[in-house]
């Protein structure tokens, strides 16, 4: 098992129970005393418990893949397959990231909003939605977004899809940030030096504490906006991870991220994420059995299978 240099916060919960926790819609529950617990508070508690459970131990502790060697192999293969793509992380405070799925902004709240707008849509549509939001309310004029009727925010971001849900999420997050910190700012999370520097774990807990922000969204902000080492698992990364056999077949996306964030070496998290997203978007071979020969990852898997069979034959011959 790959260990992470973090403090263990609570024992791991049962895997099947955790999957139910993640996938179930947050509904109001009742406490031991019989009083109602708001749905948002219940869902937040479940998110925090899940994060703390897998902060230092994988949800699949007996599943040893991927090994560090396997991660390096896939990173090398994808780097060679996509040689023109810039895999070097840029300093988010100096320039805008061009990575697929990037939040593309050094302002933490702007990054968070950009990542929310990128959910379940294309990068082109989310960019259009962000530009429209800026045009309607002014860039980073968060108070104007909060004070506006929800319908106006919906109208501004409709090009990104799921506008009604995303508008409510954005307004609620901004209200929560203002209530918690007294201002529309999360820039304290961006401090990189000195005693005020916040750990990756504390940043993750801060971000997922907001309703509508899950591990993947928080991880994207950590990775692209804050320059931290976090392995975000989007649709493409999830599909390719399953194909590579890096997680058990029963793993969902959230448990996959918890597992891979512990197994992928920190120095490869940025590059591997963007390469897997890029490959997932552009490779026709890994999406269809008819074009299987066009996928470098499927070629890699065939080679690995052949090598395993040869090793098994050799072992049998030695045994004879």
Residues annotated as catalytic (active site), given as ranges: 216
- Burial group, residue 303, by CB count within 10 angstroms (0-12, 13-18, 19+): exposed
Phi/psi at 94 (5° precision): -110, -30
Sequence-distant (≥ 6) Cβ neighbours of residue 110 within 8 angstroms: 103, 139, 140
Sequence-ordered alpha helix ranges (H) in the chain: 15-23, 39-53, 68-81, 108-117, 123-137, 142-147, 150-157, 163-181, 200-208, 215-220, 235-244, 253-263, 266-282, 296-319
Please tell me the distance from the alpha carbon of residue 69 to that of residue 106, in angstroms, as a whole number: 33
Sequence-distant (≥ 6) Cβ neighbours of residue 222 within 8 angstroms: 200, 203, 204, 207, 228, 230, 232
Where is 149: in which H helix or E strand?
none
Distances (CA, A) of 271 to 65, 134, 208: 19, 30, 24
Residue with tokens 């320059």: 227
Helix (H, G, I), strand (E, B) or coil at 45: helix
Please tell me the distance from the alpha carbon of residue 152 to that of residue 48, in angstroms, as a whole number: 32
- The CA-CA-CA angle for residues 224, 227, 229, to 5°, reads 95
Sequence-distant (≥ 6) Cβ neighbours of residue 285 within 8 angstroms: 291, 292, 293, 294, 295, 298
First to last CA, the chain: 34
* Residues 203, 55 contacting (CB under 8 angstroms): no
């Amino acid at each position: 098992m790959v260990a992470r240099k973090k403090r263990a916060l609570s024992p791991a919960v049962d895997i099947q129970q955790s999957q139910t926790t993640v996938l179930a819609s947050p509904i109001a529950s009742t406490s031991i005393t019989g009083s109602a617990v708001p749905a948002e508070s219940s869902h937040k508690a479940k998110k925090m418990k899940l994060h703390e459970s897998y902060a230092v131990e994988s949800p699949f502790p007996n599943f040893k893949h991927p090994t560090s060697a396997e991660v390096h192999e896939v990173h090398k293969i994808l780097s060679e397959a996509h040689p023109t793509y810039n895999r070097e992380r840029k300093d988010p405070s100096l320039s805008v990231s061009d990575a697929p799925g990037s939040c593309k902004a050094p302002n933490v709240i702007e990054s968070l909003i950009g990542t929310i707008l990128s959910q379940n849509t294309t990068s082109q549509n989310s960019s259009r939605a962000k530009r429209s939001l800026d045009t309607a309310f002014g860039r980073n004029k968060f108070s104007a977004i909060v004070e506006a009727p929800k319908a106006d925010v919906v109208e501004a971001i409709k090009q990104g899809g799921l506008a009604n849900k995303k508008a409510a999420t954005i307004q609620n997050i901004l209200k929560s940030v203002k209530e918690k910190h007294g201002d529309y700012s999360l820039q304290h999370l961006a401090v990189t030096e000195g005693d005020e520097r916040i750990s990756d774990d504390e940043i993750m807990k801060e971000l997922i504490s907001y309703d509508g922000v899950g591990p993947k969204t928080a991880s994207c902000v950590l990775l692209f906006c804050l320059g931290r080492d976090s392995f975000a698992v989007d649709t493409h990364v999830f599909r390719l991870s399953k194909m590579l056999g890096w997680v058990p077949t029963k793993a969902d996306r959230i448990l996959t991220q918890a597992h891979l964030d512990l197994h992928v070496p920190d120095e490869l998290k940025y590059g591997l994420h963007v390469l897997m997203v890029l490959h997932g978007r552009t490779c026709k071979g890994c999406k269809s059995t008819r074009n299987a020969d066009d996928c470098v990852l499927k070629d890699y898997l065939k080679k690995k299978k052949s090598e395993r069979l040869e090793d098994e034959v050799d072992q049998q011959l030695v045994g004879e």
